[in-house]
Structure 1
Amino acid sequence: MAAPTASLDASRQRASTIRSHIMQGNANALKLRSRTITLPPKPRVVGTNVISVLRQVVRTEGWRGLLRGNTLNVLRIAPTKAVELAVWEKFRSSKGGRTLTPRERVVGGSFASMLGTAVTHPIDTVRTRATIGQGGGADPWRHCLVIARTEGVKGFFRGFVPNLVRVAPYGAVNYGAYDILQTGYKKFRKFTGQPPANPAGLENALWGGLSGAMAQTVVYPIEMLQRRMQASTGQGISFGVASLRELVAREGVGVLYTGLSSNYAKTIPAAAIGWWSYEVIKDMLEEKEKNQK
């Protein structure tokens, strides 16, 4: 089957990611809250409990507090994933439809994620500030004005370098693992004489959830530091090995995985829904293209 065009890739990915991230708004707000909370420097503190954060947010702000920043999340993730999937499909089609090598999966996935993230990083910074309600409440436009007046243009790109460093391995693991799982499953069905898998089957959701969980586990410490940089309005947090060491020395090794459980609560279903809906829409558009020829 011929690879679809980049514009169709972007359209179907926007549809699938908007659907999945609207459904995951609560978990996303909770994830950012638990990750950006600065823990007291007590020994053996390993993280902020997801249930306690959930109760605290509901008690102080009501259920609407769980949706803080979700509109910005949708506005950010739709173009991000549209670019990512368009680049990924273009990369795969450039290889003639053959099975990608491990190196090609790493390169293609990393490049796709880095390009998609670079496009929307300023929105991500504003979303982080609005979600935690720092220095401007929950109003994203007020945060834009505050950042522009107090920090200038560079304030919108706070955490940009660690974000790219984070998404490079994330994309490599996420896209690479999904491609391996999906390709392996197709080969297994062919080997056992079974018909091709239905794009609407839950297998794609399973592969998507697994690949998303693996990718987040690998890059979580970098993402945690990046979020803290974005949430910070001063110059106290910088990116690098020295910053990670200082953070571990001050708050313990467990701080690198603060909020991981709430991260899984968002990542796994979001990745599963996103990949599943992407495959469904992809199949529909490919069938439409085929019928028009």
Structure 2
Amino acid sequence: MKRILLSRPMPPQTVAAAEDLFEVEVRESNKPMSAGEVRAAFAVYDGMMVTLGDAITADILQDFGRPRCRMVANFGVGYNHIDVAACTDHGVIVSNTPGAVTDATADIALTLMLMTARRAGEGERMVRSGKWEGWHPTQLLGLHLTGKTVGVVGMGRIGQAIARRCHFGFGMSVLYANRSEKAVDFPAVQKPLAEVAAAADILVVAAPGGAETEHLIDAAVLDAMPKTAILVNIARGNIVDEKALVAALEAGSIAGAGLDVYEHEPKVTPALLKMDQVCLLPHLGTASMEVREEMGLMAVANLRAYFDGDEVPNRVA
């Protein structure tokens, strides 16, 4: 029976499904694996289920020709923490869990859009602090989303799900920036990123992580946005230059931001913590039991396929 490491405590159905097929060890810590732990895992396990923060680098793999571990099933759609090219060079297959995360992540984008636009975070803090003195006509006036323009950066599965909710749910006009053209089933106009930023009331980041998109949202993009606009990021933290974002918020160049991910996660830039016009969530994108179970079962299915000699359904390398 193949030995499999689950790098974090996983939902019950995921663990049970893995134990039906493999000899399973569950790492009990919720902190990312250290480089030493990853290196050891490549030597003693046949496969691994890893997730965000479990960095697999060329430096770790250089110690091996062909490691014992030949299959890495990522629990999540984003895999920028894995050096895919290095894995390929060492004969390691990598898979992810697309599809399972799409709707849940899009829902969090809409949550942040509404929270930030309607100043819900400020209002909730006001009530909890005992400072609310009752309704009045000019209290916490925010941005009405219906009929506004959303700009989506990255029109993959998640970007399309966000845009679809905005168009059909709020009657919003949809602009998007994407490396390639996309055939979508709703009205949407593709433009260069700078033009999308300049025209959008809400700019939502839904692009994949990686070196190509690091600091894609930089000072120039933020400067292009209207002063009344809001930035929302539900993708990867390092896509947004947080120093530039803080500067834009402090200068009033944009009206607010809603963030579910952070450049140096789990650390949050201290200035953001002090800003009332910023809504901050602890990476809740896929945080529902149904979705996490589906992700886990998909990762187990990827492992099963590999060890059965079948084509891995969600192979990325």
Q: What TM-score does the superposition give when structure 1 sets the normalisation length?
A: 0.31
Indicate the structure whose relative CO is greater, using CA pairs within 8 Å and at least 6 residues apart. Answer: 1
Q: Higher Cα Rg: structure 1 or 2?
A: 2
